[in-house]
Structure 1
Amino acid sequence: MLLSFWWRSQVVSMSLWMILPLSLPVFIITGLWVVYAMALYNQHVCPVNNWLYNESCEEQLPFQRGPVLCCTLDNIPLISKCGTLPPESCFFSLICSTGSFMVMLIGLLRYAHVIEKHQNCILNTAGLSTGWICAAGLIMVGNFQVDYAKVLHYVGAGVAFPSSMLFVCLQSALTYRLAKTQEEYRTGHLRVAITLLALVALVLSGVFFCQMSFALQHASAIFEWVYCILIMLFYGTFAFEFGGMSGDTLLVLSRGGGVQNFPSSEHKAEVSTNHHQPDSLSML
């Protein structure tokens, strides 16, 4: 009966830690699509399936009526454009701010978990730094709308997009460096696949965004959505590691994150074995 209770407590503990990285993509992706739906309902942007744009319109999009809408470059459904005007701008700011906090928390716990199970390294420290830099850029993107604070918004985007790309690259490399089992290698393969797709989407989005063609800028918006979804899915893969996380991970943070202050589980087992060996020898 005690064994059954212990097993249930371990399963519950495991599932609770896994909820954190899984909740980030669910919250962000769902929230962004809700923002897009609100912007579309209020006719602040044109639908994603619209590929026809004009240089100018006789009437602004929010005041148009009818099945056929006249759209300009101001109505391209970029993520930032969807969250520019109220009421969707309020939700967009909330989503970005909450998502930024979750990104920082997941990055910090991932950093501590690597130290607990293995040891600290440059890749681990760099991964934490880039994750937090991305979170800072995300706050700027969400709270400085592109139509009202363009410079600050673009600074935030210029920080968030490259740093998020660098973060997934570092975490993919770190996964392979620490991998010992087939499951860990499969996780590494999955992360590399997501990273490569995200890199392609980011490059195409940036290249198309700089073009004057309406179709290419619309394609840029689609690739921007794809990139953000891929990055969120990458964060969701941390559920594999977080499933084995324990309360000792928090002790790593409380002790400053130094591996010399908090020995790994393998080292503790070795110390325990060596501690009991003299007793057995003395008995002999």
Structure 2
Amino acid sequence: MWWFQQGLSCLPVALVVWSAASFVFSYITAITLHHVDPLVPYISDTGTIPPERCLFGIMLNISAFLGMATMYVRYKQVYALNPERSKIIKLNKIGLTLGLMSCFGLCIIANFQKCILYYIHVLGACLTFGVGAVYMLVQTVLSHLMQPEVHSKDIFWIRLTVLLWCCSSIVSMFVSSVVLYSGLYGTNLVQKLHWDPQEKGYSAHIISTVSEWSLAFSFLSFFLTYIRDFQKISLRAVVSLHGQTLYNAPQSFVTDEQTLLVAGSI
């Protein structure tokens, strides 16, 4: 059995691979069609113009679904490992709520493009990355509370490192974006897809775009830390029937009716 076939480790693997592919494929398509500059465009800019916009949207929607599934499994795993620790249970529920909000934000990013509905797109980005960063914080705290009984300290330190990477990317992106869109370098920069290195504001633009890519891959790296944990869990659906038929009538009536039909056929 391959390592990604153990337990549900295929979920975080699929989430990371598919999400990375959605960024890369959209980027390659946009570059090939000369819709954006090759040197580190905004991720959102690579999904602004058709046909890459269609590819970007559908792939990110699937990523959101995979994200929700991964976060739900993580929630069930933490709960199963700590059924009587109220603090962990409460944090775990908060983490699931934050995670689902972050995935909803990803759907907004996928379906409301930057150049069409900018403020809705920004709202989606805030939900995805802002709330998502808080989700990472909650999961890191949970890892701290569960070590060393449930897992080693190494997992906690790895997740803490990725969290710090994420936070530094957020700060860098926020500061550079504020400087870029402050009005010092012109107006309507949101619609700008091509930049000249000699233009004013180009440095702030590059810092902002690099920070965005760094932020995105910090999220993917965080989910990579779930792979080993997910090798130790599996879920199954249990079917519970409320009756032996799908009729609305009481069971006794259905049984009598079937008896009459059988007797009549004889």
TM norm structure 1: 0.71
**Paired position in structure 2 for 1:55:** none
1:5-33: CA deviation from partner (whole Å, max 9, x where unpaired):
xxx7xx88962511111121111112201
**Paired position in structure 1 for 2:116:** 148
Structure 2 CA distance for partners of 1:149 and 1:211, relative to 1, 3 Å: same
1:116 maps to amino acid: A
Identity %: 24
Quick one: distance in 1 between partners of 2:150 and 2:116?
50
Say which of 208, 212, 226 aligns to 2:214: 226
Further displaced range: 212-221 or 186-195: 212-221
1:88-138: CA deviation from partner (whole Å, max 9, x where unpaired):
001110121011111111111111111111125221011101100001110
Quick one: distance in 1 between partners of 2:7 and 2:28?
31
1:55-101: CA deviation from partner (whole Å, max 9, x where unpaired):
xxxxxxxxxxxxxxxxxxxxxx1111110000100111012101111
Residue 42 of structure 1 deviates from its aligned partner by 1.0
1:152-205: CA deviation from partner (whole Å, max 9, x where unpaired):
111111221101110111101101111225952111111000110111011101
Equivalent residue runs for 1:272-283 within 5 Å: none
Residue 149 of structure 1 deviates from its aligned partner by 1.5
Say which of 7, 31, 56 aligns to 1:92: 56
Quick one: distance in 1 between partners of 2:37 and 2:5?
43
Count residues in correspondence: 215
Quick one: distance in 2 between partners of 1:148 and 1:178?
45
Q: Is the 8 A contact 1:111 1:125 kept in 2?
A: yes
Quick one: distance in 1 between partners of 2:118 and 2:211?
21
Q: Is the 8 A contact 1:208 1:220 kept in 2?
A: yes
Residue 225 of structure 1 deviates from its aligned partner by 0.4
1:44 maps to amino acid: H
Q: Does 1:170 align with 2:145?
A: no
TM norm structure 2: 0.76
> Unaligned stretches of 5+ in structure 1?
1-7, 50-76, 255-284
Further displaced range: 179-188 or 96-105: 179-188
Equivalent residue runs for 1:97-176 within 5 Å: 97-119=61-83, 121-176=89-144
**Paired position in structure 2 for 1:245:** 233
Quick one: distance in 1 between partners of 2:4 and 2:235?
9
Q: Does 1:211 align with 2:202?
A: no
Structure 2 CA distance for partners of 1:13 and 1:197, relative to 1, 3 Å: closer
2:205 maps to amino acid: Q
**Paired position in structure 1 for 2:159:** 191
The ranges of structure 1 where at least 4 consecutive aligned residues each deviate by more than 4 angstroms after the TM superposition are: 11-14
RMSD over equivalenced CA pairs, Å: 2.1
Q: Is the 8 A contact 2:4 2:13 kept in 1?
A: no
- Where 2:205 maps in the other structure, the secondary structure is helix
Equivalent residue runs for 1:69-88 within 5 Å: 77-88=41-52
Q: Does 1:28 align with 2:19?
A: yes
Quick one: distance in 1 between partners of 2:77 and 2:62?
22
Quick one: distance in 2 between partners of 1:204 and 1:12?
36
- Where 1:17 maps in the other structure, the secondary structure is coil
Q: Does 1:44 align with 2:32?
A: no
- Where 2:101 maps in the other structure, the secondary structure is helix
Residue 240 of structure 1 deviates from its aligned partner by 1.7
Quick one: distance in 2 between partners of 1:100 and 1:134?
9
Quick one: distance in 1 between partners of 2:4 and 2:80?
17
- Where 2:9 maps in the other structure, the secondary structure is helix
2:8 maps to amino acid: W
Quick one: distance in 2 between partners of 1:17 and 1:89?
31
Structure 2 CA distance for partners of 1:238 and 1:13, relative to 1, 3 Å: closer
Equivalent residue runs for 1:251-266 within 5 Å: none
